[in-house]
Amino acid sequence: MTTHDKVNLLDLDKPGLQAFFADMGEKAFRASQVLKWIYQFGVADFDAMSNLGKGLREKLKSVAEVRPPRVVSEHRSHDGTIKWVLQLDNLNCIETVFIPETERGTLCVSSQVGCALDCSFCSTAQQGFNRNLSVGEIIGQLWVANQAMGCLPREQRQITNVVMMGMGEPLLNFDNVVKAMSLMLDDDAYGLSKRRVTLSTSGVVPALDRLKQVIDVSLAVSLHATDDALRDKLVPLNRKYPIAELMAACKRYLGDDARRRITFEYVMLDGINDSDAHARALVKLLRDVPSKVNLIPFNPFPNTTYKCSPQARIDAFRDILIQHGLTTITRKTRGNDIEAACGQLAGQVMDRTKRSLRREQQAGVGS
């Protein structure tokens, strides 16, 4: 049996791993044992799983493996941010970013190779789209990061928060993302608090309603505009699920829990969406939605026509929101020198949408 014919245990959440052991004639508790070895101790060698019998270890070696994405390169920023380029197959690479802060460490995880959406201000979107990531390719990013930083066993970990804000739209890879997040939350795996796992979406409304039914995690919404005409241009998904529908879905997601809030992400684009009038419109839009706002200074990438709003304009925008009672922070740009900042992740995408080719042709015509 070749290695890729074996079952990659990173692809299995706890129910999947319990079923895997049941098929082998083993008890369900073996799943918890193996989850702890893989995720709490970072062990990929079955022989090192000392509380498993020798016979079971031999069976596992013959039919299974722990196969994370392969690290192609590691890049470290002057501010401590780390970016890993991870190879998935012979054609595609993704990027994963660790952002250290004083009281927490956040890992930004990708969910797709490229992105099926076409947000005009995002470098990832310019690369086009190839495919969804498997469960193992999603949770494997967390596994690789823990290994690379040497923060094992679990008590020594530096990663305290995970945000599904890397390459791709998580809700367009619903099942695999949910299974991966369940491993992030599972006490036998990473055991993160549900408030420390955040899914960021551009607003796939039906999937957002479905998400509420199957897993409880924090939610961030990429908003970036307060009227449909502008958001149609910035976030084309808005043409299918306009702002009114998105806001209604956000309220449904929160339900009656008065303690919860949704984070709305708002990229600051010079002369596009950053006026005082835009700020007041944002206040009005969010007045009935328990929320906080992250203002994101635009991070440039090749061939973009957008510019970041000046700092004074960002500050004035922020002050209007705060004066009207909206909790607002300006996200500090991290990892810009290694192209790891928000909106800059590109990876290596074999674009089956031909979007990147069309962009190159258009750029050639205009040059």
Q: How many CB atoms lie within 10 A of CB 15?
A: 12
Distance from C-alpha of 119 to C-alpha of 124, rounded to nearest angstrom: 9
Q: Report DSSP letters for 33-47, one per residue.
A: HHHIIIIIS----GG
Residues 6+ apart with CB under 8 A from 112: 129, 130, 131, 132, 133, 167, 168, 169, 172, 173
d(C-alpha 11, C-alpha 180), whole Å: 8
User: Which of 95, 137, 169, 265 is labelled catalytic?
Assistant: 95
CA distance 61 to 56: 9
Q: From the candidates 108, 122, 308, 342, give the one annotated as an active-site residue.
A: 342
> Among candidates 192, 35, 50, which has minimal Cα distance to 109?
192
Tell me whether residue 308 is one of the annotated catalytic residues.
Answer: no
Question: How far apart (Å, rounded) are the C-alpha atoms in residues 92 and 109?
Answer: 16
Which residues have C-beta within 8 Å of that of residue 45, sequence separation ≥ 6? Answer: none
**Is 95 among the catalytic positions?**
yes
Distance CA 273, CA 279 (A): 8
Which 3 state secondary structure label does DSSP give 199? strand
The closest of 128, 185, 190, 125 to 155, measured between CA atoms, is 190
Assess contact for 273 and 306: CB atoms under 8 A.
Answer: no
Give the active site residues: 95, 342
